[in-house]
Structure 1
Amino acid sequence: MATLRFISSLRPHQGHQPEGDQRAEQTRPQPRTGMKGKSRRRSQYPGGSSATGPRARTPGPAQGPNCKARPQDTKHAAHIRRPEPKTLAQGLQTNPEGHCEALNLLATPPGKSTTLEQAAPKDLADEVIVQGTRVPITRPVQQGEQDGRAGQRPAPHGHSSWQESKKDLDTPTSYRGNRAQTGLDLKPAEKEHATVRVLIASAPHADTFGYSMPPPGLLRLGGALEAAGHETLLEDLAFRQAEGSLGSGDRVFRKAAELLAAQGPLDMLGLSVMGATLPAALLIAQHFRALEPTTPIVLGGPGAGAIDVTLLERFEAIDVVVRGEGELTLPNILRRMAEGRDLVGVAGITRRDLEGRVIVEADQPLIRDLNELPPPAWHLVAPLLVYKEISGEDEGLVPIDSGRGCSYDCSFCSIGRYWNRHSRCLPPERLVNEILQATSLAGARQAYLCHDLFGANRKQALAFCAEMKKRGGGTPWECRARVDHLDLELLQAMAQAGCYRVLLGIESADPLVRRANNKNTPEDLDPLGVLDDCATAKITPILSFILGLPGEDPKALALSLDLASNAALRAGVNLSFHLVNPQPGCELGVEFQGRTRRVEGIPPDMALGAGDSPAEQILIEAHPDVFSTWHQLPHSEERLEELAKIARKLPLLLQRHARTFALLRPHLGLDSLALFRAWRATGRSFSGFVRSQADPLLDDVLAWEEAQIRQAQEPLHSTPGAFRPDSRPIPVGEILRVDHDLSSLGPDCLRPKADPTHMLVQRSPGTLASTRTLKVTGDIARILETLTGIQTTSELEGNHPGLQQTIQQLAEAGLVTTKQS
């Protein structure tokens, strides 16, 4: 089997040492059985065929007392000797029978580096034997000899084109795949050199939104690896956890490792991580290393790039960290692997040298034109319909890798720095193609564009909307954008193209706080004006606020909460509050390193559904600088607790009782922060707090909003046909009698006139749990109140002649339906 213990990342050796040129060539492991009982083995060696027959082999030594012999193919191993599995597993504890009992979760303590012995024999310090041929060892360069320096990150090289990288790769560019599943006419890639068998996986988590969709980055990476001619497997471990394959608690990581190992023999395992899934990935890597001592493990994704050196210094199970876009770097690694070469000079990676020093190679230039990316490999994951069935997500969202990067450098976000502050989008025609392909999958109804900056390139955004309007057939989609990138013209174009929802990062209403945290928005920004434009375009906005940013005092916090209160008065606005989690790689993570901390009872917003198991908790506590995603800024505990309560309670309160809350502010002469504090100090429910004010207008508005809450939970009623004599009619909705004309209540009118009014509150048609309110006359209200579902139509007609005809007319208007037995 090909293996990535390349000469540049050797580990200490303990045990049998062959002498000189007589070192034994080891054998390839026997094939494992695939998930469906079929052997996955294709040939003795990557790129070889069964017709050529196996190479001459002799058995190699066992790998240690706690592991059965795992021989490896020496084509790519360069006769590199292996350490004991205990070394590879970073402190794996074994009992006398050789069974694993526990993993050392602490790895190497912070501030210390793992000491590795040089694995090559001293008499061959400058060369090794590869298939009977002496090959020079590429020694680690000294500082200043090339861009890659020990422990230092070289300056980025800027952009390069995908074509330039493909010339360097010398790999075919045609795509492979199942035409029926991808919807594209794909042809098998020609094998110009050895093929490597690689498994890429996303680390598990329990965030419902996340595991309801396949990981779009890995879908794209899988397509790139197949385009390079490699046999590619993909495991979405969040999906596996959701379906129950991995169990719960600490068992998840062992089960995940066993599941990955069962798909062997593998030439490489790649783990993709966000900050929240990094602990899980490291634990899985340690368990996998114990099962597969010779299979290389590569870590990549936004959760690894900023702490690449630290990860390799402390976690022996990880061999290489890929920084940036894997579509370029990983095929380069695999090509070196197939050729039996080391990783010296491979751009975009961080690795170890012979002495165990961590080497940061030059950055991989970004892909300039995303149109050169291969299509996502949907055939590598479970059907989307199964994702939806397991997660219970009923909107049919399907993720689209619509663009990459961010040109801003907000203090609380690492994305801009991870992508060197460059933002790129898929070209409009290509993006429409991928949306239509993805939404044609069973279970898909709506596209979720994952790029953060829709509209940053206005010309491209308008071109996409025009193309989507032309070819999209009304396919609904949602996106993320900045408030200062949107206006009525663009929003209307988006709506006509199928956009129904947009996430907007407000962060703070105070321009000084936004400036202090590099939000880089105009100081005269008018978020409410953009919300009104969203309402005109019939697009639902989600407003995101970050509480506790540096520079935010109580006055600034009150401004943000007032803005949220005013925004909630706009129909359909959703609110989302978060506390800062200074993750590695962002400005706040660097500025406050060593001063942030976890606070009991305040879960991190950036890591919901992750880090809860005992093993993860131990790891997070042992390496606080690596896992600061779970930390809070160094505010007082009292302040953090209050901010957490605001973030947890106020968004839902404002979405349910926006009008009542807005009326209370002038009634009590308080801003939103002071009002929240006054309510919480009473210990009452919000409804009890409002009724204690003994204000008729507040009572009317509260009764209206509570009726809306109840009706939003009601099932939709179908319009009945002609009422039969035995039908039992009932109103569609809830009738209210109030003393004020609440139909005029809104952002510009918080004191409606006193006027006894009858209203009918109904569940709105459609999939969203929304309501509508109809103003009805007193006569209609009295008729609706008589329809209790107890009397039949004939009984009502007998008591009130002519009522049956009126009921039929009200049913046609959507005000009456039939009680279901």
Structure 2
Amino acid sequence: MLHESSSALGETERTDGLPLRSSPGGGLKVCLVGPPTVTDFEDPEVAESEAIRLIAEHAPIGVLSLAAVLEQCGAAPQIVDLNRLYYSYLRAPGETASKTDFCSYVAAELDQLAFDVLGFSSICSSYPLTIRIAEQMKRRRPGVPIIFGGPQASVVDVPTMKAYPFVDVVVRGEAEETLPALIAAIASGATPSGIHGITYRDGGRIVRAPNAAVIADLDAIPLPAFHLYPELRDCHYVPLELGRGCPFACSFCSTNDFFRRKFRLKSPETVIAQMRLVRDTYGITTFDLIHDMFTVDRKRVMAFCEAVIATGEQFYWNCSARTDCIDEEMIATMARAGCKAIFFGIETGSARLQTIVKKNIDLAEAATRIEATDRHQITTAVSLITGFPDETMDDLRDTVHFFVDSLRFDFAEPQLHILAPLAETPLESHHRKELVFDDILSDMSHQGWRQDPVDREMIQSHVDIFPNFYSIPTPKLDRAYLRELRDFLLNGSVRFRWLLVALHQDSGDVTQAFEAFRRWYAADPDRGPRPDLQESRYYASKTFCDDFIAFVRDDYAPRLARTPRVLHSILDYERALLAETPPPTEVTAEDQDISDITLVPKLTDGVVLTECAADYQRIIRCLRRKGDLRRIPRRPATIATRQHADKRLDVVMLSPLSAQLLKLCDGARTVSDIAGRLTPTNRTISAIPAEKVCMFGLEVLRQQGLIALHRDLAAKAG
């Protein structure tokens, strides 16, 4: 899929061969507006969640890259990040938010700035909002040229300009050379007729100039103008562009159209120099290295990794790759060079569909690569898509099975999206006349739970501009079922990962467990309809967690399961993780000398003990290797969960001795009392004095932070 590229405003190039520095900007003040993504989440609680903020609060690399080029050309750019502005809007006093919609809020904020040209970056999910903001700004500043660019505007340029006369120019494709030429033309009052890569108005006509050539030398593009983005110091990571272009031709993907399949990479020296400069200036050492297909050229990937290793400096980075363009040696080298995460676009777990959508990945090889990245502790996003027009129930099951099998690896994070027909992709073009507006939205392009009513009217009036909000019919699959299954799997994998794996392994197909859950829910007339099911909110709620645990405990395990003891053990564990545990308070122990047998051990605040019907760790090992769960013996075990003040949760599988000791640490018994009640757990321990065993065991538990020692208040009073 297409990342927000380093030229998200609309990136193209001039074909007259002029170098980047040669176009004077005439001192024009140019305001570049980055595309919003977090605006899809109208619920402040969701938008403010850590997961969403990590995605949204990053530097808008596209407009920052263009700003750097414009500065070289003599223009005066400024940056507006609509994600940051959205958070300001959400946090504004209630009266402000209730009287003003976000579009008007943005327009009022932009109207306070001084600029001669206004440029909007675009992505498909927020394109209606971008258009509405532009319309308001044209009313407020009728003499200011409005320029669109980026992935969405580039492919729907003509219909956009026909429908919305306030859009003056669309810059198509890569913009680092096209935009400076356009700004120079505006500054001089000249017509843009000689500039390739733009669509513009000439009187009453819309003129679409020829495409500009892609930029061959990416090293010539300067470091993005991070100095124009003061919030950078608050970011967890910094995006930097590795290269552009993908040589493959997947039927659903827009990357090959935007970059026209011309694969290019920046040199290792350039990327490392930029990483070093960001670290030295902003103190950030983690980077999202942007390129849809970085690992296509193995030799250059290895050269980059070896160059990073040779510096002796510590950088951490993420990238994208195809599983058939990476191997064990490359993964190991990438890990040594600081790679912490890889995005794998698997797309479908069906070998049949792999051919149809022209992805052509070997799925067994893909699973091997995911296992290798897990072994090297590289987090792997395993991206899957459902809702292809040719998809059958068997294809869907294959994809779901790949999703669940990926959960067996600790560092794998599977995703499941519903297909979005992205504008001008081969798949969208082929099915353009069949598109339906059914409100079963994809999240491939960040669409949220619902659109603004004004956006909906725009979308329904212009399918040619907003096809990603539509659906391609799936004759052999119920799309409402697809959406509900997706929500079940995504939320279930976050909240009880190993329970999903166990259900899949127990039943042979987790979709059967899902369907059994739906029947169980519907069978109780007192339970009522699942709230907000049509908006996907039920599966994101705590209510779903409680319901699903009750279903497995009360219905599936006793009635349908082949290995109920295993499921009960995992349930006990998952319930311990989900329990609302109070955070620890500051503990002041009067004496930490464990040899003082008058001390009173007590569980640390935030520690909870949970009994399991079988050895949880053995169950997990069995699930990892797809072993026979029926061979797990009945052996009760105890786990301790410990909540930290920062909400981190530690989970400790206790030995029989540790479990016995912790159960005796009730805050009333002294070390001496506990030693007197201790029962030997094996022959070796039985040969050692109970008091010595007790002291050793308690000291281990104290070092693990599970207990604290206090003076016996009764003895102290005596």
Within 2, Cα distance between the matches of 1:319 and 1:553?
45
Within 1, Cα distance between the matches of 2:128 and 2:25?
36
SS at match of 1:276: coil
What residue identity is the alignment partner of 1:375? L
Q: 2:79 aligns with which of 231, 234, 239?
A: 234
Q: 1:736 aligns with which of 597, 611, 618?
A: 611
Within 2, Cα distance between the matches of 1:807 and 1:257?
65
Within 1, Cα distance between the matches of 2:350 and 2:693?
59
| C-alpha contact (below 8 Å) 1:275/1:627 kept by paired residues | yes
Is 2:241 the partner of 1:401?
yes
Within 2, Cα distance between the matches of 1:622 and 1:160?
32
SS at match of 1:502: strand
| C-alpha contact (below 8 Å) 1:732/1:814 kept by paired residues | no
Q: 2:116 aligns with which of 247, 255, 267?
A: 267
Q: 1:432 aligns with which of 260, 267, 272?
A: 272
Q: 1:360 aligns with which of 203, 208, 224?
A: 208
Within 2, Cα distance between the matches of 1:766 and 1:573?
27
Q: 2:166 aligns with which of 311, 317, 320?
A: 317
What residue identity is the alignment partner of 2:633? A
Structure 1 residue 203, shift from structure 2 partner: 3.7
| C-alpha contact (below 8 Å) 1:306/1:584 kept by paired residues | yes
Taking the TM superposition and a 5 Å limit, the aligned residue runs for 1:282-681 are: 282-354=131-203, 356-386=204-234, 396-439=236-279, 444=284, 446-471=286-311, 473-522=313-362, 525-600=364-439, 602=441, 604-609=443-448, 612-635=451-474, 639-654=478-493, 656-665=495-504, 667-668=506-507, 670-681=508-519
| Structure-2 residue corresponding to 1:9 | none
Q: Deviations over 1:497-556 (max 9, x none)?
A: 22222221111111220111121324x642221122112211122211101113210111
What is the TM-score with the length of structure 2 in the denominator? 0.79
| Structure-2 residue corresponding to 1:106 | none
What residue identity is the alignment partner of 1:302? P
Q: Deviations over 1:43-87 (max 9, x none)?
A: xxxxxxxxxxxxxxxxxxxxxxxxxxxxxxxxxxxxxxxxxxxxx
SS at match of 2:635: strand
Change (3 A) 1:646 1:789: farther
| Structure-2 residue corresponding to 1:810 | 700
Within 2, Cα distance between the matches of 1:217 and 1:610?
26
Comparing 716-725 and 302-311, the one that deviates more: 716-725
Structure 1 residue 458, shift from structure 2 partner: 1.4
Within 1, Cα distance between the matches of 2:200 and 2:548?
56
Taking the TM superposition and a 5 Å limit, the aligned residue runs for 1:91-130 are: none
Change (3 A) 1:766 1:514: farther
SS at match of 2:18: helix
Change (3 A) 1:696 1:484: closer
| C-alpha contact (below 8 Å) 1:403/1:450 kept by paired residues | yes
Within 1, Cα distance between the matches of 2:480 and 2:663?
47
| Structure-1 residue corresponding to 2:635 | 756
SS at match of 2:32: strand
Change (3 A) 1:372 1:766: farther
SS at match of 1:526: helix
Comparing 789-798 and 465-474, the one that deviates more: 789-798
Q: Identity of paired residues, percent?
A: 23
What is the TM-score with the length of structure 1 in the denominator? 0.70
Is 2:36 the partner of 1:170?
no
| C-alpha contact (below 8 Å) 1:286/1:317 kept by paired residues | yes
What residue identity is the alignment partner of 2:211? D
Within 2, Cα distance between the matches of 1:743 and 1:576?
22
What residue identity is the alignment partner of 2:67? G
Within 2, Cα distance between the matches of 1:297 and 1:193?
16
Within 2, Cα distance between the matches of 1:288 and 1:212?
25
CA RMSD between the two structures: 3.6
Q: Name the count of aligned residue pairs.
A: 630
SS at match of 1:199: strand
Structure 1 residue 258, shift from structure 2 partner: 2.8
Unaligned runs of 5+ in 1: 1-158, 172-191, 389-395
Q: Deviations over 1:103-127 (max 9, x none)?
A: xxxxxxxxxxxxxxxxxxxxxxxxx
Within 1, Cα distance between the matches of 2:312 and 2:172?
35
Q: 1:779 aligns with which of 654, 657, 667?
A: 657
Q: Deviations over 1:301-333 (max 9, x none)?
A: 001011111111111100000001111111001
Within 2, Cα distance between the matches of 1:808 and 1:672?
43
Q: 2:130 aligns with which of 272, 276, 281?
A: 281
SS at match of 1:745: helix
Higher share of residues assigned helix: 2
Structure 1 residue 565, shift from structure 2 partner: 1.9
Change (3 A) 1:813 1:712: farther
| C-alpha contact (below 8 Å) 1:581/1:605 kept by paired residues | yes
| Structure-2 residue corresponding to 1:699 | 565
Structure 1 residue 770, shift from structure 2 partner: 7.2
Comparing 405-414 and 433-442, the one that deviates more: 433-442
SS at match of 1:699: helix
Within 2, Cα distance between the matches of 1:331 and 1:310?
25
Unaligned runs of 5+ in 2: 1-11, 41-51, 523-546, 594-598, 679-690, 711-718
| Structure-2 residue corresponding to 1:121 | none
Change (3 A) 1:577 1:480: same
| Structure-1 residue corresponding to 2:528 | none
| Structure-2 residue corresponding to 1:215 | 60
Within 2, Cα distance between the matches of 1:410 and 1:560?
17
| C-alpha contact (below 8 Å) 1:503/1:544 kept by paired residues | yes
| Structure-2 residue corresponding to 1:682 | 520
What residue identity is the alignment partner of 2:205? R
What residue identity is the alignment partner of 2:18? S
Structure 1 residue 773, shift from structure 2 partner: 5.2
Change (3 A) 1:283 1:438: same
| C-alpha contact (below 8 Å) 2:436/2:473 kept by paired residues | yes
Change (3 A) 1:769 1:593: farther
What residue identity is the alignment partner of 1:170? S
